[in-house]
Each structure stands twice: as C-alpha cells, then as structure tokens.
Amino acid sequence: MSTFISAQPNTSTDKKTIRKTGVLIVNLGTPDSPSVPDVRKYLRQFLMDERVIDIPFVNRWLLINLIIAPFRAPKSAKIYKQLWRPDGSPLKIYGFAVKEKLQQVLGNDFVVELAMRYQSPSIENGLKALRQQTLSEIIIVPFFPQYASASTGSVYQEVMRVVKDWQILPEIRFVNRFLDHPKFIEGFAKLGKKYMAERSYDHFVFSYHGLPERQILKGDVTGSFCQFGSCCDTLDHRNQHCYRAQCFETTRLLVKEMNIPEGKYTTCFQSRLGKNPWIKPYTDEVIPELTKKGVKTALAFSPAFVADCLETTIEVGEEYKEIFEKAGGTHWQLVESLNDGDIWIEALEDLITKPAV
C-alpha cells in the first residue's frame, strides 16, 4: 500500500507573492581613491577590456601594462584629486543616491542594486546580492544613453559571464539604450534652459565620448552603410545601433526640445586615445574653429553621461573652457548631468516598469 500527499487545489497562490524583480543599475566605474595605485588599478581593468581596446590580447597587455597605466596613472591621479569630493567620487556618490531614490519609487516588489563595470561595487557582487533574493526577473540598466560595444555591450558581456554557471536563471532583461526617452531629453533640456534663461549664447556644443572609427565600422552589419558622414543624418533600421548616429540623433532631439536654431549648434566627440582615427569632429578642434567664426559664448552639454565625472566636470567643464578662452571666447558654460535629479529617477522608473515593445 502506497501513500502520497498531493497539493491542495483549493488554495491559490497570489502571483505578487512569488514575483519579485531585481534591478541592477550599472555605470562605467571610478577608482576607489585618487591615489596613483588605485588609479593605475582602475585604468588596467578598464583598458584591458577587449571591447574597450579591441586589439589582440598580447598587444593590448603590453600597451596597457607597459605604457598607458605606468605613465598615465600619475597624471590621471592629479585630475581625479581635482574631481574628488570629501565623501568620495561624484560618480559613485550619485550612483548610490539614485539607487536609494529608485528603490523608494519602485517599492517592495523590486530590489535595486548599484554596480560599476570597473572596480567597485562590481557587477558580480551586485548580481550575487540579487540572486540571494530568489527573484523572478532581473533587469539590467546600463547608464549609457547611446549603445556602444565598449560600454553597454561590455556590461552585457560581463553579466553573461557571471550568470553562465548559475543553475537557475531568472528572466533577464537588458535596457539597450534610452537616448530618445522623453524624460531623458526633457531632463537635459530643462538644465539647458536654466542657463539659457540667464543669458544668451552664441553657440551650443554637444560633446560625446569618442570611439575609434574601427569600432563603428565593426558594428555596421550591412558592410557598406557607414560612411562617417550623412549616413548619421537620420537614425533608422540600418544604423540604429551605430553609436555615432545615436549621438547625432540625441543632439537633434535636444535641439528640438530647446528650440535651438539651425547653424547654432555642433555635435562633436571627446576623449580620444592613441594615433588611430576616432569619430569626428573632435571637440578640442571644433572649439577654436567656433571662435574664428565669432562665437564668444557657448553652452556645452555632455549627453553621453548621466552623472558628472572626470569627462564632464574636468574635460568639458574646465579643459575645454580653457581652450575656448585662449582662442578668444569669453564665456563657456557646462550644463551638468542628470545626476540624481527627480526627472532622471522618473526616466529610470519608466525604463524599468514600462519596457519598450
């Protein structure tokens, strides 16, 4: 005689009691401190990423470990010291603030963790914390408005490296990009309008982080569409994943939102490294050309970054200001990033709870 106990059919499980969603928000990363050893450690991890410097491993290892990290780290450490706040790196400070605000907005059905692609808190530790919550779904939100293999693609790859050996995998959803999200555009436009209300500007500069041209060409699956020219005048199915085209589209959306006239704005690219060609035009070359045309006042945006960091505060806000003034300009103003502003939290809430169809 056998005996078994069956589940009782007269009791139902509320779906909400078993479905809980994890959210991993991911930014690029920052050294743990502005000391030379910590900056060197950060540079090594960042630049050894095969999606960031896409050359053969041995060549990359030699370049990073024998040339870039030893010689660049002391210089970069000095710059990070200018950026550093008493409570730490702005990128990380804003990241934790966003995490807390987003957790409040999303409520108890969500668990939010912050991660950095490079250094701490790591993606691996963030996913480990979410895994322990026995979640039904994990949503990965890279903090990069425009998709690029070296940024969003690298986050995807690291997430898959971490979870590939998990015995049980929950649903995993990635936010691919959000350059055209209405609240993202509204957020930067509102910040810009604040400065536009205070004074008039001769020109508006939209500076994005650069990439090597070879990475853009690698992403052109048509093999012939990318020409580094008018192909970026529109964003459609052929170039929807092209970083350069997405940047020009971001500018068009912001220009429209702020009613900036044609001819009064420029899209350009910063932070190039090495001698190989990067996507153009280069911001540091655009600036002197603007002053030659009589531009005396300029309002600068960095819409590839959602939190202020070395590339916004120091590079665009200070270094490019110096170039502008030396070339004859009189007033250069950086528009700050979204940081932990309410409209950015609203944008994230939408991206998480209202996925694109």
Which residue ranges make up the annotated binding site for Fe(2+)? 209, 311
Residues 6+ apart with CB under 8 A from 26: 114, 115, 116, 117, 123, 126, 140, 141, 142, 143, 155
Cα distances (angstroms) measured from residue 339 to each of 41, 96, 213, 306, 336: 25, 11, 29, 6, 8
β partners of residue 267? 206
Cα distances (angstroms) measured from residue 8 to each of 4, 5, 12, 15, 161: 12, 9, 9, 17, 41
Q: Taking phi first (over 0 means left), then psi (-120 to 50 degrees means alpha), and beta for anything else, what does residue 249 get?
A: alpha
Give, for 127, the enclosing helix (H) or strand (E).
helix 123-131
How, if at all, do strands 265-270 and 203-209 pair?
Answer: parallel
Cα distances (angstroms) measured from residue 56 to each of 26, 42, 216, 313, 331: 27, 20, 18, 33, 44
Q: Tell me the CB-side half-sphere exposure of residue 250, using CA atoms within 13 A.
A: 28
- Measured in degrees and rounded to the nearest 5, phi and psi for residue 333 equal -125, 125
Residue positions forming the annotated binding site: 209, 311
Chain-centre distance for alpha carbon 237: 22
CA 214 to CA 216: how far, in whole Å?
Answer: 5
Q: b/e per residue, 57-70, with b = 16+ CB within 10 A? A: eeebeebbeeebbe
Number of Cβ within a 10 Å radius of residue 292: 10
